[in-house]
Amino acid sequence: MKRIIFILKLSTATLLAACQNTEKPVHSTIQKNQTMSNFTVNKTEEEWKKTLSEEQYHILREKGTERPNTGKYNMHFEKGKYTCAACGYELFDSDNKFESHCGWPSFDNEIGNGRIKKQTDYSLGMARTEILCGKCGGHLGHIFDDGPTKTGLRYCVNSLSLEFKSANDTLK
């Protein structure tokens, strides 16, 4: 039994490390101490708690991370747009989504410049680039420079920070 628990802990640590990159952070557009007042959607934490699920609040407002391979958009490849779950701002197009085998949805580009804000994250004893919704400042995940496409980028995003608008729904 101890061996099984050890193996499970080791597997979880390995999966978490798969989406981590110890290289220098990608260009940062937000200073470390920038406040949320610099975003166009500003709510109190109590207002966010009323509009987000407990899990979404943890990810988007407390900078949490969902467990790998558990998010509904990890292996989701329908045509459409991915929006911020907190404010509905369009962030990613399905054409930029790819399977990175890291356990979280991955994109190689945002819809347009400024949709995603970047800041250096020094948690976990390393420097990474955190990505935030450009409209409400919600934590989305991190960006790495190890992507397999021509952009060389991998936006590693928590499914709980996203909603999806199907291309079929927008055609109706």
Q: What's the domain range around 140?
A: 23-171
What is the CATH number for 148? Answer: 2.170.150.20
Share of the chain above pLDDT 70, in %: 77
pLDDT, one tens digit per residue, over 84-138 is: 999 999 999 999 999 999 999 999 999 988 899 999 999 889 999 999 999 999 9
Which residue has better confidence, 114 or 72? 72
Instruction: Look up residue 45 and give its two tokens.
Output: 């934490």
* pTM of the predicted protein model: 0.79
Q: Which amino acid is at 50?
A: K
C-alpha distance from residue 172 to each of 166, 167, 168 (Å): 10, 9, 7
Does residue 42 sit within a domain?
yes
Where would I find the H helices in the chain? 2-18, 45-51, 54-62, 167-171
Number of domains in the chain: 1
Does residue 27 sit within a domain?
yes
pLDDT at 172 over 50: no
Does residue 104 sit within a domain?
yes
Does residue 80 sit within a domain?
yes
Does residue 13 sit within a domain?
no
pLDDT at 32 over 50: no
Which among 161, 125, 155, 160 has a CA at the least distance from the CA of 143? 155
Does residue 165 sit within a domain?
yes
Work out the pLDDT band at 22, boundaries 50, 70, 90: very low
Query: What value does the mean pLDDT take over residues 45-72?
Result: 96
Does residue 8 sit within a domain?
no
84 is catalytic: no
pLDDT at 160 over 60: yes
Does residue 9 sit within a domain?
no
Single out the catalytic residue among 84, 87, 133, 156.
156
